[in-house]
Amino acid sequence: MNFEHILFSIEAGVALLSLNRPDQLNSFNTQMHGEVKEALKQVRQNPDVRVLLLTGEGRGFCAGQDLSDRNVAPGSAVPDLGESIEKFYNPMIRQLRDLPLPVICAVNGVAAGAGANIPLACDLVLAARSASFIQAFCKIGLIPDSGGTWTLPRLVGMARAKALALLGNRLTAEQAEQWGLIYRCVEDAELRDEALKLARHLATQPTYGLALIKRSLNASMSNSFDEQLELERDLQRLAGRSEDYREGVGAFMEKRSPSFKGR
């Protein structure tokens, strides 16, 4: 499949997906949704892929929904925004969260609307120092979607989540790092290299175990303590059967560096 609105490549275990509508700050239209969906499907189905890196081309990361796709002229029928969320955004967010491998997001510029919440569905978020996060929804009468209302309070606490969502102010990458919204803020010129370095490292790690870690941490956001202890027991049971665990222990005993296969 040839992509027009995204760039997509797989190399040495790293899948690189870059949103590519730079003139529209990489905002989503229907075609881009379709292309991202197809790329994520390939990531899921290709056993060689051990990490996904998501980023954007040009000066922005993603400006959310392309509003020209959603023109609401006076007198026209009431739109059902729930439908596009159900059909496009929610499956993409679930997919990013559920992929059994680490997902890195390199936020290269402004991340607004859904574009601010897509990174929050990823596992490790790096942002360029000049990047910013804007929960722009409140300015056009909408609510933060793509998981924003769930993720924000869990990452930065309710007080800051409400301020971000109700005011829609621009949050700088540095502030985002200080608040714990993202993992790390790096110099603009270093973003892509840093993100690739991280991706290449993770692509050599025990992917199956990493997927179980991701699964358990995600589940902890809504589990009770007891449920989480039981989940740890079950996932550890699974991890203990992996080839990589055997390799990890073997390498440790033999004082050599392990060679993980991701299973």
Partner 1 sequence: MPQTLAVELIEPGVRLITLQRPQALNALTTELLGELADELNAAQADPATRAVVVTGSRKAFAAGADLKEMAECNLVGVLNDPRQASWQSITRFSKPLIAAVNGFALGGGCELAMHADIIIAGEDARFGQPEINLGIMPGAGGTQRLLRAVGKSMAMQMVLTGDAIDAHQAQRAGLVSEVTQPELTVERAVQVARSIAAKAPLAVRLAKEALLKAMDTDLASGLRFERHAFTLLAGTRDRDEGIRAFQEKRRPNFTGE
Size of site (CB under 8 A) for partner 1 = 5
Positions in 175-204 near partner 1 (CB under 8 A): none
Nearest to 244 by CA among 219, 217, 210: 210
Gap between the Cα atoms of 260 and 242, Å rounded: 10
Residue 21 or 214 with smaller CB distance to partner 1: 214
**Residue 163 or 238 with smaller CB distance to partner 1:** 238
CB of 7 to partner 1, least distance (A): 31
| 123/135 Cα distance (integer angstroms) | 20
Q: Which CB sits closer to partner 1, 118 or 239?
A: 239
String of contacts with partner 1 for each residue 204-233, x by CB under 8 A? ---------------------------x--
CB atoms within 10 A of CB 8: 19
- Residues between 121 and 140 that touch partner 1 (CB under 8 A): none
The CA-atom distances, in angstroms, between 239 and each of 126, 210, 216, 235, 258 are 28, 9, 12, 6, 16
Q: Which is nearer to partner 1, 45 or 76 (CB)?
A: 45
Binding characters for partner 1, 234-263, by CB under 8 A (x = yes): xx-xx-------------------------
- Closest approach, Cβ 108 to partner 1, in A, equals 34
Closest separation in Å from C-beta 227 to partner 1? 10
Q: How far from 107 is each of 17, 153, 184, 236, CA to CA, in Å? A: 12, 20, 10, 33
CB atoms within 10 A of CB 46: 12
Q: Does 163 bind partner 1 (CB under 8 A)?
A: no
- How near is the Cβ of 85 to partner 1 at its closest, in Å? 18
Kindly tell me which of 40 and 185 has the beta carbon lying closer to partner 1: 40
Q: Which is nearer to partner 1, 155 or 235 (CB)?
A: 235
Q: Are 80 and 26 in contact (CB under 8 A)?
A: no
Distance of closest approach, residue 168 Cβ to partner 1, in angstroms: 33
- CA dist., res. 144 & res. 151, Å (int): 10
Between 213 and 235, whose beta carbon lies closer to partner 1? 235
Beta bridge partners of 184: 126
* Strand pairing category for 170-172 and 132-134: antiparallel
Residue of 100, 98, 6, 99 whose CA lies nearest to 55? 6
Q: How far apart (Å, rounded) are the C-alpha atoms in residues 85 and 137?
A: 14
Q: Which residue has the tokens 């971000």?
A: 164
38-67 residues in contact with partner 1 (CB under 8 A) are none
CB 235, min distance to partner 1, A: 7
Nearest distance from residue 185's CB to partner 1, in Å? 35
Which positions lie near partner 1, rule CB under 8 A? 231, 234-235, 237-238
